[in-house]
A = this chain, B = another copy of it.
Amino acid sequence: MKALILFGHGARDIRWREPFDRLKDKWVAQHPDVLVELAFLEMMNPSLESAVGSLASQGVKEIAVLPVFFGQGGHLRNDFPTLLANCRAKFPEITLSDIPAVGEDEAVLQAIISLAARSI
């Protein structure tokens, strides 16, 4: 069984997570056969490890993690690989893969350009 984790930065203000909750709801509505969890790097729960553990306890064997980050700085180049490695060590029965960050995707960037063009 496969699952998706949407991985975000996290913030002190709880309202920061609203777009992430909407992403999760959209996934559930469009792909009800594939489990989804949110996970956060810092300041919000669950952590990546907790989200992987939750999915593992539901019988998931393959998890793809999508970093919902635009830029690839220290968080994605250093912190994220370390977290993934820790999860692989802790859950060796799970195949854990990572998707390039959303800021690498041309369709996501084009959606931003289209939003700007509609709004200016």
**Chain A interface (Cβ < 8 Å from any Cβ of B):** 2, 4, 6, 8-9, 11-13, 15-20, 22-23, 26-27, 30-31, 34, 64, 66, 68, 70-74, 77, 99-100, 102-105, 107-117, 119-120
Contacts and interface: CB of A to CB of B under 8 A. Distances in A.
Contacts of A104: 19
Given A2-B120, A105-B112, 14 more contacts: A6-B116, A11-B74, A13-B71, A13-B72, A13-B73, A15-B72, A18-B72, A22-B109, A23-B112, A27-B116, A99-B116, A99-B120, A107-B114, A108-B108
Number of copies: 2
Nearest to A98: B119
Contacts of A68: 70, 112
